[in-house]
C-alpha cells in the first residue's frame, strides 16, 4: 500500500521555524504536494512538485525533498499559520494517490 | 479563476448508492491540462484520496474503494460525478471535488478545491 507518514503535531513559538516531515517510499520517485487546512475550511495548496509555491502563498512557506522524505518549512511562523498540514503524492506507479495523516501545527 | 461546486443528497441510507456531482465554472472540463478528482474527509479525521478521472473517461480510483467507486464525466454540462455503492456509516464524510494539474502521474495533484459537501450515511 502507498503510505505517507507525518508527525501528528508540531508546536513552535511565533517567529520560530516550523518543520513538518512526510516520509514514504514513493517520494523517492514522485513529487510531493502540501496542503494547509484551517478549521472549517477546505484545504489550500501551499507547495507542489516538492518545492514550487503558488504565487498567493507567502514566501515564508517552502518545501524540499530528499530520498524518501519531503519537508515543509515555515520560517518565522505566525499565529495565522496554525492549521493542519497534509502531504500528498502519487504512488510509485503514478496511478493512485494518498495523503499523509496530517500534522497539526500550533503557533503560540 | 476556476470554481468547483459539489452537489448531491446530504443523507444516504446504508447499503444504498451515494451519488455526487461536481459542477465546474471558469474552465472547461475537457481541458487536457487537468485531471478531476474526488477526496473525502470523515468528521474530525484526515483526507482520503478517492480517485481521479480524465476528460477522455479514463479513471484512477483508490485501490481500497475501487470495487465500489465509479466516476464519470459530462462535458455537455461541464460536470463530473462520483458514485459509491453499498455505503455504510464509514462512508460518512465531507466530500470534496478538485481540479488536479497533470504531472508525471495519472493522479495529478489537487490544486483547486470545492467547498465540500457533507454526506451522512444513516437510516
In B, which residues are within 8 Å of A96 by CB distance?
Answer: 49, 51, 60-63, 107
Residues of chain A contacting residue B101, judged by C-beta atoms under 8 Å apart: 48
* Mean pLDDT within A80-107: 95
Secondary structure percentages of chain B, helix, strand, coil, to 5: 0, 50, 50
**Closest Cα in chain A, distance from residue B58 (Å):** 11
Probe site for chain A from B35, B107, B112 (most A CB atoms < 10 A): B107
- Give the pLDDT confidence score for residue B11 in this predicted structure: 97
CB-CB under 8 Å, B110 with A88: yes
Contacts with A3 from chain B: Cβ below 8 Å: none
**pLDDT for residue B106:** 80
Tens-place pLDDT, residues B49-60: 999 999 999 999
Q: Judge whether residue A73 has pLDDT over 80.
A: yes
Q: How confident is the model at residue B105 (pLDDT cuts 50, 70, 90)?
A: confident
* pLDDT mean over B76-101: 98
- B107/A99 Cβ within 8 A: no
Interval B23-70: pLDDT, tens:
999 999 999 999 999 999 999 999 999 999 999 999 999 999 999 999
User: Exposure pattern of B86-120 as b/e (b: 16+ CB <10 Å)?
Assistant: ebeeebbbbbbbbbbbbbebbbbbbbbbbebbebe
Mean pLDDT, rounded, for B96-117: 93
Per-residue pLDDT averaged across A37-47, rounded? 97
Per-residue pLDDT, A1: 75
Kindly report, residue by residue over A3-22, the tens digit of the pLDDT.
999 999 999 999 999 999 99
pLDDT at site A61: 98
- SS3 call for A79: helix
The answer to whether A20 and A84 are in contact (CB under 8 A) is no
Amino acid at each position: 500500500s502507498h503510505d505517507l507518514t507525518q508527525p501528528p503535531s508540531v508546536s513552535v513559538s511565533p517567529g520560530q521555524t516550523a518543520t513538518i516531515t512526510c516520509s514514504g517510499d514513493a517520494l523517492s520517485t514522485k513529487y510531493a504536494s502540501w496542503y494547509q487546512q484551517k478549521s472549517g475550511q477546505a484545504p489550500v495548496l501551499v507547495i507542489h512538485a516538492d518545492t514550487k509555491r503558488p504565487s498567493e502563498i507567502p514566501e515564508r512557506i517552502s518545501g524540499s525533498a530528499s530520498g524518501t522524505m519531503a519537508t515543509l518549512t515555515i520560517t518565522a511562523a505566525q499565529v495565522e499559520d496554525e492549521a493542519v498540514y497534509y502531504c500528498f503524492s502519487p504512488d510509485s506507479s503514478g496511478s493512485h494517490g494518498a495523503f499523509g495523516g496530517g500534522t497539526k501545527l500550533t503557533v503560540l | 479563476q476556476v470554481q468547483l461546486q459539489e452537489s448531491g443528497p446530504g443523507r444516504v441510507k446504508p447499503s444504498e448508492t451515494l451519488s455526487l456531482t461536481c459542477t465546474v465554472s471558469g474552465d472547461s472540463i475537457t481541458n487536457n491540462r487537468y485531471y478531476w478528482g474526488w477526496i473525502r474527509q470523515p468528521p474530525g479525521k484526515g483526507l482520503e484520496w478517492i480517485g481521479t478521472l480524465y476528460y477522455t473517461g479514463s479513471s484512477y480510483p483508490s485501490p481500497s474503494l475501487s470495487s465500489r467507486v465509479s466516476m464519470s464525466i459530462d462535458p455537455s454540462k461541464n460536470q463530473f460525478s462520483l458514485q459509491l455503492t453499498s455505503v455504510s456509516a464509514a462512508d460518512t464524510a465531507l466530500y470534496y471535488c478538485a481540479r488536479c494539474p497533470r504531472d508525471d502521474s495519472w493522479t495529478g495533484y489537487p490544486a483547486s478545491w470545492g467547498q465540500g459537501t457533507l454526506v451522512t450515511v444513516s437510516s
